[in-house]
Structure 1
């Protein structure tokens, strides 16, 4: 049986950059995505006005980081005039994925996501990766990949993307079952370990992954709520939304 292809194949994997450390973490993450999908990595730097003949130091630095992260990556560098959120929403129309960086949240009163991520959550036409940077400068992506199983239309696409990321990143995927009629919900007192028959995986096998959630793959309902979410309420993914996020649009 051939390997499952990544969902939502487009013309490129797009990453928005602004010279920040968080953006460079997003470039590293996006470079692996582009190589895995056999697509170019399109590095986009949006500027508010035409700088004339001024050299753009942001793009060469981002290109160098991408080439170090994945030697075989094919890079396209673009500087364009406009607000980053408008530019990246437009780029999403022909992208397999849009990636951006996000700094750590230092206080609960801060918005859950910034203006660019909020605009992409509302209007992107492809999945959006928001790669969170920790206070020490490292990318918050090194834990398990978590996804919620629901009865929502399109949930299979969300889970498909989570499984793809688990294979690509070498991470365990934690599936949280919230389906109304699932066996887990019928028998909440029974501990369940899910293993696909014929996969060669054994019960209790140590995955070697950190228990902390490094990436939450979420569907349209959570993505729609993010721009207006000020104080996170109870969510089945522990650590959400302060981990890195992969938003799957409606």
Structure 2
């Protein structure tokens, strides 16, 4: 599929924040000159539910089915108000939302998960569904957060961990920074804390040398991508704190946070561990998760 025809896909659930997510996704699509595809799908029922839970789920599904076209029209109208020239298509899918979005990711530039209100439908869309989509999607996935409905001049923050997966994260972050013509802040974190027993004489450790090594590792990895994207202004930051705290700190002045996943399951995946879950729960800006491709 030609790159300019590769759509940005946004999943909506009818909530107000889903409309905001659709508007944000439309703004990103406009930046890329790409079409926007808005998807409404059925909540996942799950397994081994009680009879009461099944009845509640069935009621939610019935409501969602009857309201799908209304939700899609509302989202389309909201996006068109911001982006009148944007090409928009819609889809009301009968399949579970996670399956619909994972299938859509095969031909998408980006998947945006919209909806975070504490309702039955939104909890399904941005709860376990987020983990399933992030883990299995073939393209980057954005969990929409905050109140932004468009792109801005604020920087993009990317978490860099020095792994091979980190190169994929940097590639995605540089691409978005270039498209949005904004600064990129590359954050690497390390800590002076060591597990008990690992350091026998901690006061003999050259912490300055260790920090210099972290700087060298970060700038070395970033410079490889800076050469490919010379138009992108990059700031490298090394923080002596946990990755989650470091990224949240810099996200306060950013419009997007980009992190990586090794594509493992929700319990063992790198980005689906404490750092990314911390971001998904506490970030006030959209969080993009890009999964490493198999070697």
Same fold (TM over 0.5): yes
Are 2:210 and 1:215 aligned?
A: no
The offset of 1:76, in angstroms, is 0.5
Distance 1:45 1:215, change over 3 A: same
The offset of 1:61, in angstroms, is 0.8
Count of residues in Structure 1 that have an aligned counterpart in Structure 2:
221
* 3-state SS of paired residue (1:36): helix
**TM-score of the two chains, using structure 2 as the length reference:** 0.59
Whether the 8 Å contact between 1:49 and 1:82 is mirrored in structure 2 is: no
- Tell me the residue number matched to 1:248: 290
Per mean C-alpha deviation after superposition, the further-off stretch among 43-52 and 151-160 is 43-52
Distance 1:245 1:61, change over 3 A: same
Are 2:90 and 1:77 aligned?
A: yes
- Tell me the residue number matched to 2:164: 153
Alignment gaps of 5+ in structure 1: 1-7, 204-208
The offset of 1:154, in angstroms, is 3.9
The offset of 1:57, in angstroms, is 0.8
Which of 10, 21, 29 is matched with 2:16 structurally? 21
- Tell me the residue number matched to 1:66: 79
Q: After superposition, give the CA deviation of every residue in 1:146-201 in whole Å (9 maximum; x if it has no partner).
A: 1122332242331122223334445432101369xxx98326799x9999798697
Alignment gaps of 5+ in structure 2: 43-60, 191-208, 236-249
* 3-state SS of paired residue (1:57): helix
Equivalent residues in 2 for 1:52-131 (5 A)?
56-103=69-116, 114-131=127-144
Which of 212, 215, 233 is matched with 1:186 structurally? 212
Are 2:177 and 1:166 aligned?
A: yes
The offset of 1:20, in angstroms, is 0.8
Bigger radius of gyration: 2
Q: What RMSD over aligned residues (CA atoms) do the two structures have, in Å?
A: 4.4
Q: After superposition, give the CA deviation of every residue in 1:6-56 in whole Å (9 maximum; x if it has no partner).
A: xx8773211111111121121112112222333221111113469999772
* 3-state SS of paired residue (1:72): coil
Higher-helix-fraction structure: 2
Distance 1:199 1:232, change over 3 A: closer
Equivalent residues in 2 for 1:220-235 (5 A)?
220-221=261-262, 233=274, 235=275
Query: In structure 1, what is the Cα distance between the partners aligned to 2:64 and 2:266?
Result: 36
Distance 1:63 1:201, change over 3 A: closer
Query: In structure 2, what is the Cα distance between the partners aligned to 1:51 and 1:102?
Result: 14
* 3-state SS of paired residue (1:95): coil
